[in-house]
Amino acid sequence: MGVVEGRFYDHLGVPTAALHQAQRQFERAKQHEEQQRKLAQRFPGCNSRWSQSDGGEVWCSERSGGIQRGWVGRPRQMRNDFDNDVSCVCVRKADLGHPKLREYRGCAPDAERCKVLN
């Protein structure tokens, strides 16, 4: 059988440092994806709506984020470490102290529904 010499294998078919680096990056990406999946289960996305006349609103229900569960939760902002994006998530009372969470400005801490202020 032949050998494809290039970036990932040398002329003897031995893996190069570039292949090992690509494999490590792939593994990190898989781990990140798994962490995001677990976070989405723990902190499902909020329901939201926006209109020019009323502005924005976010709220939590037993099916927010398309995930059926037996709790409603409180809307909070969560920053994603991967791309620094902020999204609304529904949070159980026991998880309200999580370090990645921030309350919506002008919204009561125990509210299930919040107006989104700009």
Would the pLDDT of 118 be above 70?
no
Q: What is the pLDDT of residues 25-40, one digit of tens each?
A: 999 989 888 988 888 8
Most confident option among 1-5, 36-40, 63-67, 100-104: 100-104
- Residue spans of the domains in the chain: they are 1-42, 43-116
pLDDT, residue 1, reads 65
Question: Residue 63: what pLDDT?
Answer: 86
Distance CA 13, CA 2 (A): 9
pLDDT in tens, 47-88: 999 988 888 999 999 887 777 888 999 999 998 776 778 899
Q: Residue 37 is which amino acid?
A: R
Alpha-carbon 84 to chain mean position: 10
Report the DSSP pairing between strands 47-51 and 113-116: unpaired
Pairing status of strand 86-91 against strand 55-59: unpaired
Nearest Cα to Cα of residue 36 among 85, 96, 92 = 85
Question: Quick check: 75 and 50 in contact, CB under 8 A?
Answer: no
3 state DSSP class of 92: coil
